[in-house]
Amino acid sequence: MYKDRNYARGRLENTIIRVGKRPVYVVEIPIDGSVHVFYLENNVDKKVKYEELDMSPVPLGFINYNGYSYFAARKPMRRDWRQGLRANNTVIIGRHGGIKLDKRVYKPLAKTILGKYPTFEDSLIEVRELGAAQCAFSRGFGVTATNKIIYKGDYIVGKIKGDTPILDDNYKYLDRVFKESLKNV
């Protein structure tokens, strides 16, 4: 996969990639030829083989964290030779500010990468009964405590009447992808 250990270390250490479908943080490339990883969703350290690594870009989108929904995206980078996701090539923003990509957000980020979101109905419970200001129900859509539908972080694209989501007329072009996100399969 890589021509030597130092080359691999320069490309992979301190990045987030996947082993299979599971997101991991690459801690180090030991001299024994393995890869020491930390699984984001359960805090387990493990050594894996290079062949198990999936270095394709991890899917991003909304992250539910501390009662808010943040939108994670990659920053465009020049002269970036490293693989994977890391703090300097990622931005995580929301209507109320941003957060850094660090250990605090690894578990919520793992859910995003794995596509594990609450249903639309459960998101309504989060904001209406459990005190969350926002809750995403897909990579691209979420709800707010003020009965708004948000899209990709900062855009208010609709409202909720009762328990029914309604896209604003200006955002009807999102109708198909919105309906797919409501399925939350």
CA distances from 49 to 29, 67, 84, 98, 153 (A): 10, 37, 17, 35, 36
Same domain, 109 and 131: no
Same domain, 125 and 109: no
Q: Is the dihedral of CA 116, 120, 126, 127 positive or negative?
A: positive
- The domain that contains 30 carries what CATH number? 2.30.30
CA atoms of 116 and 35, how far apart (whole Å): 26
Decide which of 113, 130, 146 is a domain's last residue.
113
Same domain, 124 and 178: yes
Instruction: List CB contacts of 166: < 8 A, sequence separation 6 or more.
Output: 149, 158, 159, 160
pLDDT at residue 4 greater than cutoff 90: no
Decide which of 78, 98, 113 is a domain's last residue.
113
pLDDT at residue 1 greater than cutoff 90: no
DSSP state, 59? P
pLDDT in tens, 122-146: 999 999 999 999 999 999 999 999 9
Range of the domain at 160: 120-183
pTM above 0.85, yes or no: yes
- Short-list 25, 30, 24, 27, CA closest to 5: 30
Element (H, E) at 8: helix 5-12
pLDDT at residue 81 greater than cutoff 70: no
pLDDT in tens, 17-66: 999 999 999 999 988 888 999 999 998 999 999 889 998 999 999 999 99
DSSP letters spanning 94-125: ETTEEE--SGGGHHHHHHHHHT----HHHHHH
Q: What is the mean pLDDT of residues 107-112?
A: 96
Same domain, 50 and 68: no
| 8 A C-beta contact, residue 8 and residue 31 | no
Q: What burial class does residue 93 get, using C-beta atoms within 10 Å of its C-beta: 0-12 exposed, 13-18 middle, 19+ buried? A: middle
Give residue 3's pLDDT.
Answer: 64
pLDDT-above-90 percentage for the chain: 71
Same domain, 33 and 74: no
Element (H, E) at 180: helix 175-183
Mean of all residue pLDDT scores within the chain: 91
Same domain, 81 and 102: yes
Beta bridge partners of residue 166, listed in sequence order: 159
Task: State the total domains in the chain.
Answer: 3
pLDDT in tens, 66-77: 999 999 999 887
